[in-house]
C-alpha cells in the first residue's frame, strides 16, 4: 500500500503533467477504519446474495422509490418497510407458493 510520501510524489507528478486542478482525495486507511468503527452516524449496511436479474430488479425498484420520495433515500427506505409490513404473513406464504418455479431457479443459483 502506498505511503503518504508515495502519494505526495504521485501528486507532484500529476501536477507536472497539468492535472493539478483535478479533484482528489487522500485516504488514510487507518483513519477511515477508525471512523467506520466509531460509526458516529450509527449507519449500517444491508447486504444479500442475489442473481443478476434479482439484483437489477431490486435496484430498479429502489431507485423508483428514491426518486418518488424526492431523492431522499432514507424516506424511500422507510416507505418500503412500511409497505412490506402491511402485507400479512399469510399473503407472503401464498405468494411464495405461487412462485414455485422462481424458487427452483433461485435454488439452482
Number of H helices, E strands in the chain: 6, 0
pLDDT at res. 102: 61
pLDDT at res. 100: 67
Is residue 76 a contact partner of residue 68, using CB atoms and an 8 Å limit?
A: yes
Give the integer Cα–Cα distance in Å for 31 and 26.
11
pLDDT at res. 98: 86
Is residue 1 a contact partner of residue 29, using CB atoms and an 8 Å limit?
A: yes
What are 58-64's contacts with CB under 8 Å, separation 24+? none
Task: Tell me the per-residue pLDDT of 14-57, one tens digit each, with 9 for 90 and over.
Answer: 999 999 999 999 999 999 999 989 998 888 889 999 999 999 99
Task: Tell me the per-residue pLDDT of 66-95, one tens digit each, with 9 for 90 and over.
Answer: 999 999 999 999 999 999 999 999 999 999
Query: What residues does each domain of the chain span?
Result: 4-38, 52-108
Q: Which residues contact 14 (CB under 8 A, 6 or more apart)?
A: 20, 22
pLDDT at res. 80: 97
Amino acid at each position: 500500500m502506498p505511503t503518504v510520501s508515495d502519494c505526495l510524489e504521485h501528486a507532484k507528478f500529476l501536477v507536472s503533467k497539468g492535472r493539478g486542478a483535478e479533484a482528489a482525495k487522500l485516504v488514510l486507511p487507518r483513519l477511515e477504519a477508525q471512523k467506520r468503527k466509531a460509526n458516529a452516524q450509527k449507519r449500517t449496511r444491508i447486504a444479500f446474495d442475489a442473481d443478476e436479474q434479482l439484483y437489477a430488479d431490486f435496484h430498479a425498484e429502489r431507485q423508483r422509490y428514491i426518486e418518488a420520495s424526492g431523492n431522499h433515500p432514507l424516506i424511500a427506505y422507510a416507505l418500503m418497510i412500511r409497505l412490506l409490513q402491511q402485507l400479512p404473513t399469510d399473503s407472503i406464504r401464498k405468494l411464495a407458493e405461487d412462485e414455485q418455479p422462481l424458487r427452483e431457479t433461485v435454488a439452482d443459483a
